[in-house]
Chain A
Amino acid sequence: MSRAPTRHPGLNLGPSHQSADDAASVEVFGFWVFMMSDAVVFGLLFATYAVMVGRTAGGPGPSELYDLKSVFIETLALLTSSMTFGIGATMMKHGNRAGWLVFWLVASFALAALFLGFELHDFVDMVHKGGVPQRSGYLSAFWALVPLHGLHVTMACIWMGAILLQMAKYGLDDAVKTAVLRLGILWHFLDIVWIAIFTVVYVGGLA
């Protein structure tokens, strides 16, 4: 089955949402450009982590600080939330089903909150084990990279809250639709960054 060309990355609204789709072709592309710029930030922090991971300066190293079980739960939560978000977006696209959209968005929010909760627990645990960023170059690199991803997830959650409030106020208008598409780009992008984090930082540190 051949496929019609897309106008921008992520889910395309298509002709049944003509005006929102036109706006999205510029707005989502603009946001995608921003994501690429952000990807460079993460790329450089990964490179910094890679060169500093051996610089423990006599302090604790990865194997003493990381907890694979917790990271596993975080990974499942984040992967599942990417799927739930996508389903929500298709609910919006096909038939403007606002109720279902809200349901799936809230589900994604809950999974992201679960992720953040476990991550926070990890961080507290690391601090108790002496893994504070002031301890060594390695820990500085860790604390710049992994919490930055967490901060992005937090921002995405706040953004989702703002979008839900906008929906309550204006209904499912074009601005809300394109905002959901942009948030989707961020949501899936953060998943990709997390794949790199669990592979490089956690699996790399505990293997």
Chain B
Amino acid sequence: MSRSRIDLPPESDPAATHTSEAREERRNYYLGYVLALVLTLPVFAITGFHLLPTKEIYWVAGAAALVQMVVHFRYFLNIRFKGQTREDLHLILFTTLILGLMVGGTIWILFNLAGRM
């Protein structure tokens, strides 16, 4: 299915594609949901029942959260590395950069200060 959805006039949009596209899109949401659960339930399990040492829980939960964010971007917000408009990708990458700078910088500066008091 390599047609441009923007240039195509609506009447030439065959009903068959329509339903298969609908099914695929719905499948995306179900799949995203299942993946989100797979990435969430174990984290609560290891935290609630203390199945791992604290430090390891941090690592596992942090990694699961990062992966889950990617899952949400991919399956719920329909964002991929290819097939985006240029401005969408610009914006996401720039936001990630700024968040990294601001959050990382804040933590660095304030812990550095606290460590010297």
Contact = CB atoms under 8 A, between A and B. Distances in A.
Interface of A: 1-12, 14-16, 18, 29, 32-33, 36, 39-40, 43-44, 46-48, 50-51, 68-69, 71-72, 75-76, 79-80, 82-83, 86-87, 90, 93-95, 185, 188-189, 191-192, 195-196, 199, 202-204, 206-207
B77 A188 contact: yes
A4 B1 contact: yes
Given A68-B48, A191-B76, A207 B102 contact: no
A132 B22 CA distance: 48
Contact of A203 (B43, B88, B106): B43
Interface string B59-75: 00110110011001100
Contact of B87 (A29, A68, A72, A196): A29
A8 B88 contact: yes
B47 A4 contact: no
A86 B9 contact: no
Majority secondary structure, B binding face? helix
B95 A87 contact: no
Contacts of B98: 40
A68 B44 contact: yes
Contacts of A204: 58, 61
Contacts of A72: 44, 48
Interface residues of B, number: 62
Contacts of A202: 47
A16 B102 contact: no
Interface of B: 1-6, 8-10, 13, 18-19, 21-22, 25-26, 28-30, 32-33, 36-37, 40, 43-44, 47-48, 50, 54, 57-58, 61-62, 64-65, 68-69, 72-73, 76-80, 83-85, 87-88, 91-92, 95, 98-99, 102-103, 106-107, 110-111, 114
Contacts of B37: 79
B91 A32 contact: yes
Contact of A83 (B18, B32, B50): B32
Majority secondary structure, A binding face? helix
Given A82-B33, A90-B22, A15 B61 contact: no
Given A12-B78, A90-B26, A206-B47, A195 B69 contact: yes
Contacts of B62: 199
Which of A9, A10, A95, A196 has the most C-beta atoms of chain B within 10 angstroms of its own C-beta?
A9
Contact of A9 (B30, B65, B77): B77
Contact of A11 (B25, B44, B68): B25
Nearest to B55: A207
Contacts of A199: 43, 61-62, 64-65
Given A47-B107, A199-B65, A207-B57, A93 B22 contact: yes
Complex A-B, nearest 9 residue pairs according to Cβ-Cβ distance, in ascending order: A86-B29, A207-B57, A47-B106, A94-B22, A83-B33, A199-B65, A4-B5, A188-B76, A51-B110
Contacts of A185: 77
B103 A16 contact: no
